[in-house]
Amino acid sequence: MRKQSFIILLSLLLIQQVTAQSPELLTIRKYANKNAGNIINEFTEFLSLPNVAADTVGQQKNAAFIMDMMKKRGIQKVQLLPASTAGVPPAVYGEVMVPGAKKTLVFYAHYDGQPVNPSQWAAGLSPFQPKLFSNAMDRGGTNMPFPPDGSYDNEWRIYARGAADDKAGVDAILNAYDAINKSNMIPGCNLKFFFEGEEEAGSTHLNEILEKHRSLLGSDLWIICDGPVHQSGKRQIVLGVRGDTRLDLTVYASKRPLHSGHYGNWAPNPAMMLVKLLASMKDDNGRVTIKGFYDDVTPLTTAERKALAEVPSVDEQMKKELGIKGVDMQGLTLSEAINQPSLNINGMQSGNVGTQSSNQIPTYAAAAIDLRLVLGNDWKRQQQKLVDHIKAQGYYVTAKDPTDEERTNYSKIIKIVPKNDGYNAQRADMELPIVQEVIAGVKSISSNRVVLQPTMGGSLPLFIFEKYLAAKTVTVPVANHDNNQHAENENIRIGNLFDGIETMGALMLIK
């Protein structure tokens, strides 16, 4: 049962911030509002299917559910795209070819979620039993029944694993198409749908899937519908990601732990050696002092610099939220800082601390480091700069624990082990016509509510799309920034889900 009053209410809530929209967008919004009850019913059914990537049976059910969703909506060529490797969750594919269309967009989301530890979820919550709350729990929201009349408020939340990351993406995409189709409109371009089932497990077989099914996947642009909108709550278009590479460092001293009394001052202390080494890597303004660290950086274009300047500041809001006063790179905003390569200490260990500590000189000191990369950086070259810096501090570098001979020959010995293959940053050119059209598409909803980010701080292997398909990507997220992504109590804000339908719809109308 849908009430007229609900439509008016929801229209008010959702539309009141909108300034000037096309009739098509208004139609999409109206359709979504009118069908909110059905949309949420289907969504909660979807969220009830456990979706951890390693759960093969669970993932088959999710993939089958998505195929049904697509078939119901009249999408063509609905099929699974398996990897070459057996037992891997397949991608789910479908397409809508539009006669006379000049462009093809692929809409990407992933249906797998992060592993769950149900015991860490709040009392009354279970990862695969979606619950409705009157607001975020940490803002005093309480559990409430799903309304039988389908009247939803923007501030309400649904708690479940995958609610935000990234079944909300699947749902926003498929309901956007549904709204266009059921409203007797025609998309502006050819649409392809690609839903991955292994993203949270590292997209380990995405390369195989793309290679094997390349012939299906030709496009002008991939729209990556994943991640949160801006912390300010505004819609966000992200044109790139930072690259990443990680290394383990171990500095060695005496072969056996020494009594700090009998040998302190004389025997080298590996923890002190390591802190001196790490401290040499950054200055007091937070700038990395490794030679050439910033040299390869591709400068931001005028358009990107302009976009960056227009990103609303969330720095004070985030400082309050995180309980910090100062920042790392002096004088840079969060948006500016993530457009620079970074060197982060992820972890550090030597001897013991607290009640476990003893008055010893430890035998080694270890650190885990990650280097974030921006456009222009090459992950191997960036690693090499770090290694060269360490050598310049007088270290003998080895890839293994030192031999007795090495110990005799060198007073400063470090083991450096790259943790994995790194990957480079990726950034779509903001001035490419297709990218401009995406920007215009999202802005067509509300130009003063769109944040344009040249890059996000985190890293995604978007280079895979470039490498295996020569494809371009733009990320257009829909989830609220406080969605507890990857953690317990994951949730989607209702308003974000419906904004997402509208946003995806706007992109499908691009001609």
Query: Closest CB to a copy of itself among 218 and 261?
Result: 261
Check binding of 300 to a copy of itself (CB under 8 A): no
Tell me, what amino acid is at 275? V
Check binding of 359 to a copy of itself (CB under 8 A): yes
Return the residues of window 210-229 that contact a copy of itself according to CB under 8 A.
none
Of the candidates 438, 467, 435, 471, which has an alpha carbon nearest to the alpha carbon of residue 216?
471
Q: Which one of residues 3, 71, 214, 276 is an interface residue with a copy of itself (CB under 8 A)?
A: 276
Check binding of 410 to a copy of itself (CB under 8 A): yes
The Cα 406–Cα 479 span in angstroms is: 53
Q: Are strands 243-252 and 473-475 parallel, antiparallel or unpaired?
A: unpaired
- Contact pattern for a copy of itself over residues 323 through 352, marking x by CB under 8 A: xxxxxxx--xxx--xx-x-x-xxxxxxxxx
Beta-strand runs (E) in 168-289: 190-196, 221-224, 235-238, 240-241, 243-252, 258-259
Q: Among the candidate windows 205-213, 276-284, 293-301, 382-390, which touches a copy of itself by CB under 8 A?
A: 276-284
* Minimum gap (Å) between residue 58 Cβ and a copy of itself: 24
Check binding of 304 to a copy of itself (CB under 8 A): no
CA 102 to chain centre: 30
- Taking CA 337 as the corner, what is the angle to CA 440 and CA 427, rounded to the nearest 5 degrees? 45
Q: Which one of residues 248, 378, 429, 482 is an interface residue with a copy of itself (CB under 8 A)?
A: 248
Check binding of 385 to a copy of itself (CB under 8 A): no
Measured over the CA atoms of residue 262, residue 268, residue 272 and residue 274, the dihedral's sign is negative
Return the residues of window 97-156 that contact a copy of itself according to CB under 8 A.
none
Return the residues of window 435-464 that contact a copy of itself according to CB under 8 A.
456-459
Check binding of 297 to a copy of itself (CB under 8 A): no
* Minimum gap (Å) between residue 374 Cβ and a copy of itself: 10
The Cα 275–Cα 41 span in angstroms is: 55
# residues near a copy of itself by CB under 8 A: 85
**In 3-state terms, what secondary structure has residue 504?**
helix
Of the candidates 240, 161, 197, 204, which has an alpha carbon nearest to the alpha carbon of residue 484?
161
Q: Which one of residues 52, 191, 253, 494 is an interface residue with a copy of itself (CB under 8 A)?
A: 253
- Tally Cβ neighbours within 10 Å of residue 38: 13
Of the candidates 286, 298, 417, which has an alpha carbon nearest to the alpha carbon of residue 343?
286
Check binding of 201 to a copy of itself (CB under 8 A): no
Q: Which one of residues 4, 356, 400, 448 is an interface residue with a copy of itself (CB under 8 A)?
A: 356
Query: Closest CB to a copy of itself among 87 and 331?
Result: 331
- Contact pattern for a copy of itself over residues 459 through 488, marking x by CB under 8 A: x-----------------------------
Check binding of 392 to a copy of itself (CB under 8 A): no
Phi, psi of 346 (to 5 degrees): -85, -30
> How is residue 191 written in tokens?
């649409």
CA 385 to chain centre: 27
